[in-house]
Chains A and B, each alone.
Chain A
C-alpha cells in the first residue's frame, strides 16, 4: 500500500476504509467537546428531534468562556446546559470550576494519541500536541455528532514544518509559532494538517507543543500535530483514560515541507489587527501599553506563569499598566499557588483571575476602552477582540508580556537580565 500521512491513517481508521487526501469521509468521532456553546448545540439537537446522545462516554462538557457567569443571559445558558447534563446523566461535565477546555481535557487524560477529536471551539487543534487529530467544528454539526456519532470530513493535505535549533534564552514556543505564522500568513495552511517535526519540537515540553498546535488554526489549519513520543507517554502515564493508539506518517510519504532554523530567533510580536502581522520585538519596542494579559488556552500553563514570574519577581508592574493573569486551569492555579508563583505575581501588582477564557475573547474580566492598547499571551488580535473596536491588541510570549508590564511599553525580555 502506498505510504500514508498521519491524517490519512487516523481518518482511515475512523471511517473504516482506506482514505486519502481529498476524499470526503464519514468518520466516527472518538471524543466531542463543547463549552458554553453547548447551549447552541442543544438548541439544534432538540430541533433535529434527537432523543439521546449516541455515546455519553464520548462527550465532555464544561464552562470556561464566561465563568462565573458574566451576564444573566450567560447564566441562563449555563443553566440550560446544567439541566441537560443532569437529565441526560452526562458523566464528563466539569461545570465552571476546572478552567479552559484546552488545558482541562489534556490534563484530565481525555486526549490520547491517534484519537479523532472534535470540539465546538477553533482551538481544539491544541490536542494535536498529544498526537491526536483534533479539529474545531460548529454547534449544529456538533448536534449531529451528539445524535449520530459521525461527521463528514475532508481528508486534509499535509504540510510538514521542520523546526530545528535550540531556542535562544528568553524565547519560547510562542515566538516560534508567531514566526511561522508571520511567514506563512493567516491562510497559509488553509484546510491542511500541519505536522511539527524536528529537534526543537522533540525538546519541547507538552505545554510548549500545545502552543504550536493551538495556534495552527491561526494559519487556517484543520489540525496541528506533534507526533507522540516518550515525552507524550510520560505525560499520559498517570492520567490516561484509555489506551493510546499512536500513529505517525509513513517515512516515505511525500508532503510539502518547510524548514525553520530557530537558533537565532528573537522574541516575536504580532501587531494589530491580524495574527500574521508579526515583527521582531525590537520593531515594536517602546509602544506604550495600558494592559497586559497572561493566560488563555495558548499561554496560561504552569511554565508560562513561571516564565513571567521570573521576570516580575521582586519588581513592580508600571503604575500605568493593569497586569491581569488567568491560570489556564484549576490544577495550574493550585500548582502555581503552592509554588508561590501567584503570590509573587500579586506582589508585583498582578490581578489574578479565576481560570477561564474571559479577557482573551473580550467576554468579560478586563475589556479594553477605545484607544487603549493591550499586550497579551493570547492567540488573536483581531479588531474588537478584547473589547472596543478602537482598542489595539499585540500578541507575544509570557516573558515579553511580563517585561512589557514592568516597563509600561512593549519591551524585550532579553534586556531584563
Chain B
C-alpha cells in the first residue's frame, strides 16, 4: 500500500493535516451546540432548528414528529462519524484510505449549512405565497364565513416582521415574527470552511 506511514519530510506532527483535525473536532461538537436557527411568533410559538434537531412548541407545549426526530438523529450520528473520519484521516494523511475518509467527511458541514439555508428560504417562500393564500378560506369557514384578511410576510432566514389575521370587523391578531441565527450556525459556517480547506490541503499528501 502506498503512503502507509507518516514518516519522511511530512511525517510526525508536521505530517498531520491540522485543518482536518480541527474541522473534525468541530464536526463532532456541532450536534451538541444547540439550535442553529430560532423562529418565534411572539412567545406563543417557537421553533428551534438545526440539521440535528427540531423542537417546536405552541404555548409552551412541545410538538414533535417521530420520523423527523429519527432522521435528524441520523444526521447527527453521521456528522460525528464524519468528524471521526476527518480526524483519523488527517492524523494519517498518507494512508491509502485517508483521501476517501476526507472526501466523505469534509463537505458534510457545508451541505448541512446550505441545506438549512435552502430549507428556510423555501419554507418562507411557500408560507408567504401558498399557505398565506389558503388561510383566509380555512379561517373563514371556521369564522362562519366572515371576511378574513391574512397578511403574512415571513422574513427570509433572519429578520423581524409582523403578520396579522383580521376576521371581519370583529377580531384581529397581530404577531411579531422573529427569525435569528445562533452562534452554533456561525461555528458550522467556520467548520464548513475548514472542512473544504482541509480537503484541498489534503491533496498534497496524495502526490
A and B assemble together: no
Instruction: Spell out B's residues near A (CB within 8 Å).
Output: none
Interface residues of A (CB under 8 A from B): none
